[in-house]
Amino acid sequence: MHIRELTVPDAYEITTKQFADDRGVFLEWYRFDELEAVTGRSIDLRQANTSVSRRGVVRGIHFADVPPSQAKYVTAMRGAVLDFVVDIRVGSPTFGQWDSVLLEEQERRAIFISEGLGHCFVALTDDATVSYLVTDVYRPGAEHGVNPLDPEIGLVLPEAAGEPVLSDKDRDAPGLAEAAELGLLPDWEAARAYYETLRGDA
């Protein structure tokens, strides 16, 4: 397993080692000890989610109040998605910037996204099946979104995905600047302080 930090701090790409033979493939897609060795922490699993999306579906940009928010460990079990992490932490040196990881069923990469970061993906295939390990249960009152088509963020959606398909909630979500004005976005210093408390519990 190889883990590297993305250009957005506190988000990581995980490349797994696969073992293939005439029966199929085996891999460890999550290892708490290897994640902890690189990030200083692991997943305190509270909920596991699965979404199935048709080609072109965009889910996100989603985030939750810090604390506790939700850290996410995400992989594609079937098909392919381009997964984005967006730095929406006010005061961060990379505020408004994003990075992406291709999650698909050949390389079988995963992405770890710390609390307070924005998460989004676009499905590149029909029946794209994404599994998420998360560190807290869904709390509707603490969940928020930023419009994934906000030109200030400028996510580059692959042409291969076709016309973006959004939920009404995501389409109506505020842009980054409006979300900041509304006081919805996490604070960089508060988020980093929270990460330190989590590392202390590791």
Question: Cα separation of 202 and 196, whole Å?
Answer: 10
Q: What are the tokens at 144?
A: 């928020």
Q: Which of 12, 73, 132, 194 is catalytic?
A: 132
Question: Cα separation of 101 and 83, whole Å?
Answer: 5
Question: Is 132 one of the catalytic residues?
Answer: yes
Continuous segment of H or E residues that includes residue 200 = helix 188-200
Contact 62, 118 (CB under 8 A): yes
Helices and strands: H and E segment counts in the chain: 4, 13
Contact 57, 82 (CB under 8 A): no
Q: What are the tokens at 178?
A: 């409006």
Q: Which of 62, 73, 144, 195 is catalytic?
A: 62
Alpha carbon distances (Å) from 79 to 29, 76, 109, 119, 129: 16, 7, 12, 19, 6
Contact 147, 175 (CB under 8 A): yes
- CA nearest 60: which of 132, 146, 123, 140? 146
Question: Is 2 one of the catalytic residues?
Answer: no
Instruction: Return the active site residues.
Output: 62, 132
